[in-house]
Structure 1
């Protein structure tokens, strides 16, 4: 009887341990630009050193953190960017009841002075308390956080305004698999395998450096038309499990999520 009770106790301990392991949460991924949750909520993040500061820009708010301003966190309402005509430079003029700031984002390679990490954007922040005249000018590096909703497998439904069919291609419909964390994509163009990189900014998406295998395609195959449309994309919308890719001329491609 004692042996049976001991076995039951041992079994209950094993079950309890397994339950505890199953309930433990995975550690949240963190980089110098913040947590993974930050990158999902904010479209642009930046940091700087000497003194340390951080910037998170979202559709609803802009959050600046630093001890130099006398406050650990300052929240500004989001504003539209002032864009330079001849360069990829954006300026944001923001203010609230206590502070005023000018944020400038320049598409220029930037190296973190401490970690040595290379980022694609140089950032400057000029900020002051409204009760003071003197501006504090800070510099650092930043990056756009590619929309996590793009991270999926998408199969083509429409090309240049027309529904597509398997007979328009070699064996199956074109598809793309987007890796938003690495800004890369791969897939099938309707005849050949394709791959390339993404260029992403707020309200801007481009498929660039597109390469493909060189298999001969059957007459009438629309892979060339598909590849051309893909490389002309500048904007996107996601909704109802569909991805619509467009440019100023109109809708180019519509995909459906399949996984």
Structure 2
């Protein structure tokens, strides 16, 4: 047993060094993104459109897709129109990065909007812009337009 102790110690040391150098996703950095933090704030945003396709919240069981940001926790929550989802975010100067999102798997009549919405944000780094009560993520055909919920 004693002759394996130095080998075991070396393996543990190498493992500890290799995991210490792995880059972890950055959390919200207030010094890099103070302007966006102030404009975005914590709260809920309601999806208004994806590209040129308008979203009618009344036509969805749960009122249409939402985006709830908790910046102090670097977390995102929301409703895709049917299912609840959650994940992590990293906010930078002019972009936001979403982790791969987790969601419930309830069956609903109209999942196409939810599928399109979640695939547009899950695991993606998107340009971010805030203008008044509107939040814009992405660009061109995949531009997501949100309105601050009251």
SS of equivalent residue, structure 2 residue 118: helix
Preserved CA contact (<8 Å) 2:82 2:111 = no
In the alignment, structure 2 segments of 5+ residues that lack a partner are 1-21
Structure 1 residue 191: deviation in Å?
A: 0.6
How many residues are paired up? 122
Matched residue, 1:213:
104
* Structure with a larger share of its residues in strand: 1
- Structure 1 unmatched ranges of 5 or more: 1-106, 110-118, 122-142
Q: Give the whole-Å Cα distance in 1 for the aligned partners of 2:131 and 2:46.
A: 15
Q: Name which of structure 1's ranges 199-208 and 155-164 shifts more when overlaid on structure 2.
A: 199-208
Confirm whether residue 240 of structure 1 aligns to residue 132 of structure 2: yes
SS in structure 2 at match of 1:229: helix
Please give the alpha-carbon distance, in whole angstroms, between the structure 2 residues aligned to 1:219 and 1:174.
Answer: 12
Per chain length, whose mean CA-contact separation is higher, i.e. which structure has more relative contact order (CA < 8 Å, sep 6+)?
2
Stretches of 4+ aligned residues off by more than 4 angstroms: none
Instruction: Give the C-alpha shift of residue 182 in structure 1.
Output: 1.4
Query: Once the two structures are superposed, what CA deviation does each residue of 1:160-181 show, in whole Å capped at 9, x if it has no partner?
Result: 3211113653331111110111
* Aligned residues of 1:172 and 1:190 also touching (Cα < 8 A): yes
TM-score normalised by length of structure 1: 0.42
Which of 64, 70, 73 pairs up with 1:179? 70
Given that 2:89 and 2:96 are in contact with CA atoms closer than 8 Å, whether structure 1 keeps it comes out as yes
Residue 215 of structure 1 aligns to a residue in which SS?
coil
